[in-house]
Amino acid sequence: MTIFNAKCSVTSCPFNLGARGVTCGWLTGPSKRCRHAVYREAWQAAQELERARQAEARPAGSITARVVAAGRPMTAERARQLALGEEV
């Protein structure tokens, strides 16, 4: 069994060995995108989720972080922070 040095974010894929890599050749092309017919949609969704998490982690000064923050639901604590200028 060949183990490729690639990181797959689809934990339900039987070819995903976690930190060890993957045993399929679907993720090893130059695009580094999963091309497996069954798992490519799950892989794409996981990538979009990871990008959203990274966007939320950016400092509030960036435009992207401000747009993501504006899309979050308003809680009582967040409303208080906005009113006092203490938003995190």
pLDDT at 86: 62
Nearest-angstrom CA–CA distance, 61 and 38: 39
pLDDT at 59: 62
Q: Is the dihedral of CA 79, 83, 84, 88 positive or negative?
A: positive
Nearest-angstrom CA–CA distance, 36 and 13: 10
pLDDT at 68: 74
pTM for the whole thing? 0.55
pLDDT in tens, the chain (88 residues): 788 888 888 888 999 898 898 888 887 777 778 888 888 899 888 888 888 888 776 666 667 767 777 777 777 777 777 777 765 5
Quick one: DSSP state of residue 73?
Answer: P
- Evaluate whether 55 touches 68 at the Cβ level (below 8 Å): yes
Locate the domains of the chain by residue range.
1-57, 59-88
